[in-house]
Structure formats: structure tokens, C-alpha cells
Structure 1
Amino acid sequence: MKPQAVIFDIGNVLIEWHPERFFDAQIGAERRKALFAAVDLHSMNDRVDKGENFHTVLAETANAYPDWRAEIEMWHARWIDLASPEIPHSVRLMAALQGNGVPVFSLTNFGVETYDIAAERYPFLRQFDRDFISGHLRMIKPDPAIYRTVEDSTSLPPGALLFTDDRADNIAAAKARGWQTHLFEGPAGWAARLVALGLLSEQDAT
């Protein structure tokens, strides 16, 4: 079945997301390793992605780990530097699909406040035909309920949805529901898949 809508994850698909890389540059690899061993920053981030307030969660975490307060406050103050840069080829693919009349949705683990911060830097985040943002939905991938929400909201059959994500567990959950999927390992492979499915021409996909 030719897809009737294309769904993009955002982190590491449209925008790079490498907190470890950021902290390596700021405090050095050894101290970064100690930070991530002492503080479960990814679980902290999951709380935000599930809809808790970004500022409150970061303040609570900083208070709970005073020895790492400066680094946790850096995550708060310089969050946009963790979520950068954009991946230009992926952004062009999104625009090309829409230019061909293909609806493009987001399905992303993202906080309410952090999505607003990101959208100020990256205006294309306001250009999806439909947004499915975990912080607003209060559930995160790979919970099957978030995929069901997309299906129910769009009234499209699972087989008509094409979804790309960089995480294998998120892809597996979508595939289990009957979605068409693409594990994102770079924009060139994604572009080739879109061409193979007849959604873009070779020229459109550059």
C-alpha cells in the first residue's frame, strides 16, 4: 500500500539530540561519565517528555543532587544546545513531501515547554500537518497507546502510515500495529525509501 501520510520522529531525525556530546564538550568526557552515572538524566528527561513541567523537574533534580547542580542547571539553561543542530536534508524531505501533497505528521517524545523552545530555533516544527507530541499526550513511545492515538485521531488505517524513527524499540512498536516503518540511520537512506515508495522523485529527494 502506498502510504497516505508520513510520520517523522524529531530527535536524531530532524534535529540532532546528543546530550552526552554536549557535556563532553563542556565538562570533559570523564566528568560527563561521572555525571550520567550519578544522575539518571535520561529518566529525568522522560518525566518532561511525559508532560511534567520542564522547569519544575530540572529544579527538583538540581536540589536532589547538589554536587551536580551546576551541570543540571546547564541542562536547563542551555537545553537548545543539546537539541542541535538541525539535519538539513531531513528538513528538505519533510518540505518536499508536503509540496507533493503528502500529509506529514510528527510523533515525538518531547516536553511541552521544550518543544516551544525548539520551535523558536527551528520554525519547521510548526509546519507539520498534525502534531503528536508526547508531553501534550502524557504518554511516550514506545507505549502502544500513543500509536493508537495517532490512528484514532487521523482515521487512517495502520498500513497507510509510514513512520521513521531512529530508535529500534519505537519502530518495533509501530510495526507491531501494522504501520509501515523505516529505521532512520541517516537522511540518505530515508530519502531512498521515500523514492522507492513513489512519494518523492529522485530530484525531490535531494
Structure 2
Amino acid sequence: MTIKAVVFDFGGVLIDWNREYLYKHLIPDDTERRWFFDNVCKMEWVVQQDGGQTIEEGTAELIAVYPEHEALIRAFYARWPEMVSGAMEEGVALVDRLEAAGVPLFGLTNWSAETFPYAWERFDVLRKFREIVVSGRVGLVKPDPQIFGLMRTEIERHLPGIAPDELVFIDDNLKNAQAATALGWHGVHYTGALDTETKLRALNLPI
């Protein structure tokens, strides 16, 4: 078996993004904050922006439902950079080692088109990828098989004729890794750099 390319997710693998970093200051009480995440600024709502809805539209829709939480809702994207603590060095080290070994690298991320430029400007690791598919730009989100299809099309521009079983996809979301596996890729659920490194070595990657 020969792996010809590795595709990385970004958030939770290479970049540390977490709503808690901002809202633990805005809503100090753990129970209240959890209620807010479970009922107002839910991940399902975040995914709408990751899928291409504008921040302005998403914010307005949510405020219309929860007008009493307007200030907290507006803070989500107005202060979005405060949810990003920095690069995840162990994940970045994996990228560096694969790059040094000459393995072609690609990126597939669920990310708002409006906030992705912030990450692009600040994290040099993103420039190591030959192509990056950003969900907010293409109007599709993982685990939709169509976004994996778009990723494969981009990969084939560099590696014509590449087969699904010659691709590895690394994501901290188990459902996304499973979606890649269902398409014939080697989906790797990222739970830490050491475990992922072990899985990559089992696939005969030079790491």
C-alpha cells in the first residue's frame, strides 16, 4: 500500500479554536455558559456560517430568536479571534515531518469564508498545503461526501489518477474521519499527535 497524499483538517488538529476561550469571560458561570452553547450559539449555528451563510445573516437570524442575548450573540464573531489561542505545536510538527519527507499535503476545513483569512494571515503552517478547500467558500461542510469530492478534484490537479485508498484524511471530528473512510480514504481520527503518528506509520508513511 502506498499513500500518495495526506489531507489535514485544521481546527482541533493544527489550530486551537474553542468557544470557551472567549465565553468563559463573558459568561463566568459554567452552567449558564453551557446552556448558552446548547441553546443559543450552538455548533449547528456555527456550521451554518461554515457552510457559506454570511456572519451578518447568521447573527441577525439568531438575534431575532433570542433578542435578550443580542450582546452575547454579536460577540461571537465580533470577538472571534479571542477563541483562537494559537497553533497546536504537536500537530504542526506532524505536518513538518511529512513535508520534510516529501509527502504532498492538502487541507480540508470547515471554516467560515469570512474568518478564514485571519487564520491564513497568522499561521504559517497553512502555507505548507498545496491546495486548501474551505467549506465556507464552497458552500459545503464535512461530513458531506460532496466536499470530499471537491477535495479529491483539487488533489488530482497535482496528482492525476490518484485513488481513494492512496489518500489519508486526519480530523479531530470522528464523523468526518468516518466519512472519509466510507469513501475509500484512510480516515484517521485525531485524538493526539502520538496516536496519529502511530496510525500514519502503520500506513507506511515516512514519519
TM-score range, shorter chain: 0.7 to 0.9
Pick which of 30-39 and 137-146 moved more: 30-39
Partner AA of 2:191 in structure 1: E
Q: Spell out, residue by residue over 1:114-144, the C-alpha distance to the aligned partner (whole angstroms, 9 max, x if none).
A: 1111222323223311111111111011111
CA 1:5/1:147 → structure 2, altered by over 3 Å: closer, same or farther?
Answer: same
2:195 alignment partner in structure 1:
189
Q: Secondary structure at the match of 1:51?
A: coil
1:36 alignment partner in structure 2:
37
Question: How many aligned residue pairs are there?
Answer: 201
Q: Spell out, residue by residue over 1:132-165, the C-alpha distance to the aligned partner (whole angstroms, 9 max, x if none).
A: 1111111011111111222233232100100111
CA 1:139/1:24 → structure 2, altered by over 3 Å: closer, same or farther?
Answer: same
Q: How far apart are the structure 1 equivalents of 2:181 and 2:91?
A: 22
5+ residue gaps, structure 1: 202-206
Conservation of the 8 A alpha-carbon contact between 2:131 and 2:154: no
TM-superposed CA distance for 1:94, in Å, is 0.9
Conservation of the 8 A alpha-carbon contact between 2:3 and 2:204: no
Q: Spell out, residue by residue over 1:16-35, the C-alpha distance to the aligned partner (whole angstroms, 9 max, x if none).
A: 23214542343121221232
Q: How far apart are the structure 2 equivalents of 1:8 and 1:66?
A: 38
Q: Secondary structure at the match of 1:139?
A: coil
TM-superposed CA distance for 1:15, in Å, is 1.4
Conservation of the 8 A alpha-carbon contact between 1:9 and 1:107: yes
> Identity over the aligned pairs, expressed in percent?
34
CA 1:53/1:130 → structure 2, altered by over 3 Å: closer, same or farther?
Answer: same
5+ residue gaps, structure 2: 157-161
TM-superposed CA distance for 1:182, in Å, is 1.1
CA 1:35/1:189 → structure 2, altered by over 3 Å: closer, same or farther?
Answer: same
Partner AA of 1:119 in structure 2: W
Q: Please report the RMSD computed on the Cα atoms of aligned residues, expressed in angstroms.
A: 1.9
Q: How far apart are the structure 2 equivalents of 1:37 and 1:181?
A: 28
**TM-score for the superposition, normalised by structure 1:** 0.88
1:204 alignment partner in structure 2:
none
2:159 alignment partner in structure 1:
none
Partner AA of 1:120 in structure 2: E
